[in-house]
Structure 1
């Protein structure tokens, strides 16, 4: 359903964002994301270029060495070619994904990829999964990968990964907006006595139920916290966790946290 927009254009937002927002009734565009050069891609390109030159030099050295056989020359050339292709990919990265755009609007978002348009209002989102993985070497963080999977009420899914520049900011916005849209109905269903499902965990007015079928009443919960990428639930008087679930495996994880906080605060009154 189309609607006219009586707004001034936000600085940094392309005119196309306003056209799509108007066409799909998504309100005012507030953020735009695309694929561009980052420090990581530039460093990777330089690294690949240096290695390409290095292995070509080694190949040249082998070619001019009378004692060298042809196999080492071929090996150096193959390795140099692989690093060259890697560097070329990094150099052309923004061009390869130039059609990828993501427009965040006040009432929803529009995703453009390879000419395909997918638009959702925030109230059309059924679930969102968050997977953030941090990699360490010798205690130092070397890389972080992000994957946000959005599922609409029509069953279709869209994944957002490190392909996008500023993926962490994009993901946080998706989580915040979808949680704001989903939480009121979740609280209303909870208050109506319904059981809410969040992957391997279910919650209702009686407490939390695990996938084993066990029920932990709200009044017996000692702790519910996120630790090392998992939700850890502990029962009063017990050292070990009563149940746990990885953040990445739980749909609408932050809705679940909010419902748990809501139920426990009501229990304490």
Structure 2
């Protein structure tokens, strides 16, 4: 008897139609489910109405007792309304992550994303003192583009998982194409046997250590110095993680091998 690729507890949490699509598409073992912070539309509407009523009550009280209008309180309902619209847009989203891809459920509508069918991942990373936030977009081979952000709990973790998996699948064929002499495009950046170019200038391989994100921009570490390509945002570069891995591969091949002394 064939063994199920899912643990019993995992099977109970995955809808039957998702299990069927995953099995048919050979997605492998189930890893984790991601869902929005707010999954009840009535709760979202309740928070919206309650926040507006409370804001109006505070505003009236302040005008009554102080005679002053605090204009910044007028912004609160607008901000809450924007939040509510975004929350209502995502409340029925569920992302089921597997070894070989993920299934995005929006109510009864299912979208399949196999790692080998994803064309590009775009990542926007912002940092604060307390955390790193990663919003990302996934473009499938058929052109469909899906955006994931703070409405989904654990979206930064999910983004990291998607990046790593897509890189794992795409890197071998990208390396093969590079070694055959092809130029590999990453949006406005191109990688070839000479180095990295942005369409205007080329940075040769003997001046490249790594390629990184620096305050949202693409940066190349040259001979210990960090050179920021100010006109290119990292969020505009497709598969930035794949680009970093390819550069690491090329640079490591160019470094002289250390042999033991006898």
Say yes or no: TM over 0.5. yes
- Give CA deviations for 1:8-43 in whole Å, capped at 9, x if unaligned: 4364561314344224332222110111349xx9xx
3-state secondary structure, aligned to 1:22: helix
Structure 2 CA distance for aligned equivalents of residues 164 and 243 of structure 1: 31
Structure 2 equivalent of residue 219 of structure 1: 206
Structure 1 CA distance for aligned equivalents of residues 21 and 205 of structure 2: 45
Residues 209 and 251 of structure 2 are in contact (CA less than 8 Å); yes or no, is this contact kept in structure 1?
A: no
Question: In the TM superposition, what is the alpha-carbon distance from 1:57 to its structure 2 partner?
Answer: 3.5
Residues 220 and 228 of structure 2 are in contact (CA less than 8 Å); yes or no, is this contact kept in structure 1?
A: yes
Structure 1 equivalent of residue 191 of structure 2: 203
Structure 2 CA distance for aligned equivalents of residues 223 and 96 of structure 1: 39
Question: In the TM superposition, what is the alpha-carbon distance from 1:122 to its structure 2 partner?
Answer: 0.7
Query: Aligned in 2, Cα 1:48/1:233: closer, same or farther, shift over 3 Å?
Result: same
Residues 220 and 226 of structure 2 are in contact (CA less than 8 Å); yes or no, is this contact kept in structure 1?
A: no
Question: In the TM superposition, what is the alpha-carbon distance from 1:114 to its structure 2 partner?
Answer: 4.5
Structure 2 equivalent of residue 6 of structure 1: 4
Query: Aligned in 2, Cα 1:153/1:37: closer, same or farther, shift over 3 Å?
Result: closer
Match among 112, 119, 142 for residue 119 of structure 1:
112
Question: In the TM superposition, what is the alpha-carbon distance from 1:144 to its structure 2 partner?
Answer: 6.8
1:186 aligns with 2:180: no
Structure 1 CA distance for aligned equivalents of residues 216 and 78 of structure 2: 37
Query: Aligned in 2, Cα 1:87/1:58: closer, same or farther, shift over 3 Å?
Result: farther
Structure 2 equivalent of residue 129 of structure 1: 122
CA-based RMSD: 3.9
Residues 130 and 147 of structure 1 are in contact (CA less than 8 Å); yes or no, is this contact kept in structure 2?
A: yes
Structure 1 equivalent of residue 259 of structure 2: none
Structure 1 CA distance for aligned equivalents of residues 34 and 53 of structure 2: 28
Match among 79, 82, 86 for residue 80 of structure 2:
86
Structure 2 CA distance for aligned equivalents of residues 247 and 84 of structure 1: 31
Question: In the TM superposition, what is the alpha-carbon distance from 1:50 to its structure 2 partner?
Answer: 4.8
Structure 1 equivalent of residue 136 of structure 2: 148
Structure 2 equivalent of residue 253 of structure 1: 240
Match among 56, 61, 77 for residue 57 of structure 1:
61
1:103 aligns with 2:90: no
Question: In the TM superposition, what is the alpha-carbon distance from 1:118 to its structure 2 partner?
Answer: 1.1
- Bigger Cα Rg: 1
Structure 2 equivalent of residue 65 of structure 1: none
3-state secondary structure, aligned to 2:206: helix
Structure 2 equivalent of residue 241 of structure 1: 227
Q: TM-score when scaled to structure 1?
A: 0.73
Q: Which runs of 5+ in 1 are unaligned?
A: 63-67
Question: In the TM superposition, what is the alpha-carbon distance from 1:165 to its structure 2 partner?
Answer: 1.2
Match among 149, 156, 160 for residue 161 of structure 1:
149
1:34 aligns with 2:32: no
Query: Aligned in 2, Cα 1:232/1:119: closer, same or farther, shift over 3 Å?
Result: same
Query: Aligned in 2, Cα 1:94/1:225: closer, same or farther, shift over 3 Å?
Result: closer
Question: In the TM superposition, what is the alpha-carbon distance from 1:93 to its structure 2 partner?
Answer: 8.0
Structure 1 CA distance for aligned equivalents of residues 251 and 166 of structure 2: 23
Q: TM-score when scaled to structure 2?
A: 0.74
